[in-house]
Amino acid sequence: MRRLKKLIRSLLPLAILAVLIFGLVTIWRHFDKEPTGSLPAAQKTAKAATPPPPSFNKKLYPIDNPNSIWTVVNKARPLPKNFVPAQLVAPAVPLRLNSSASEMQVSRVMDLPLQNLFAAAKAAGFSLMLNSGYRSYTFQNQLFNYYVKQSGQAAAEQSSARPGYSEHQTGLAADVGLSNSQCQIQQCFGDTPAGKWLTANAYSYGFIIRYTHAKQAITGYEYEPWHIRYIGGILAKEMHDLAIETLEEFFGLPPAPDYQ
């Protein structure tokens, strides 16, 4: 028994020393760790080497082909006189005229996006109506001549396109408004809650307000808050993110305030 006690007394300093060493090692390991949230060196290197996102491909769709959703039509860029979109349909949205009227048709490619836009507007409390979609060369000729007789050539050319120069002939443009006809085809539509909603949200469904308030010197047309143009979701979002309002500016095209 005495020998055991003597052995314990002799080993006690060693046990205390072992505990101290273990504690010091534990503390050193704790402070040797990287701060919380930092990455290992290999991961830091990999993160730094990550290439930037690819630039937007402006050549994804042609701007000179009237069948392209990115086609640019303005006073300097006419359509072929006899151009007719390949597929025209009457969208399942409220229409100003009977669905059999050609003016109530749009290109098939924008049919579903237009329905989605109208449905979103409805959910936001606005009942929209399609006032005018596709217009043939002949129809646009009649409409333009009417405006000339009403207001004169110069005034007509600020609010209506000559035949062959209208976006409506592509089937990718639409004049929209409220079902109750408030401010129908009038600039005051842009001041209505529905008009403000359309301006703020059209891009989410692949549309832009084609003729904005401050860009008449570029587009050649006065402010038309009711005139939307389908360009597809990726381009609409890119233009929105960059705060670019016109197709001419985005694609680096010259302004077209007048016919050439």
171 in the Ramachandran plot: left (φ > 0), alpha (ψ -120 to 50) or beta?
A: left
| Residue 174 near residue 107, CB atoms below 8 Å | no
Rg, Å, the chain Cα set: 33
Structure token digits, residue 9: 């007394």
| Residue 195 near residue 128, CB atoms below 8 Å | no
φ and ψ at 224, to 5 degrees?
A: -130, 85
Choice among 157, 167, 224, 248 that is catalytic: 224
> Within 10 Å of residue 151's Cβ, how many Cβ atoms?
14
- Is 238 assigned a catalytic role? no
DSSP letter for each residue of 73-141: -BTTBPPPTT---S-EE--SS-BSS-TTSGGG-EEGGGHHHHHHHHHHHHHTT--EEEEE----HHHHH
Return the DSSP state at 152. -
Rounded Cα distance between 136 and 237, Å, is 29
Residues designated as active site: 224
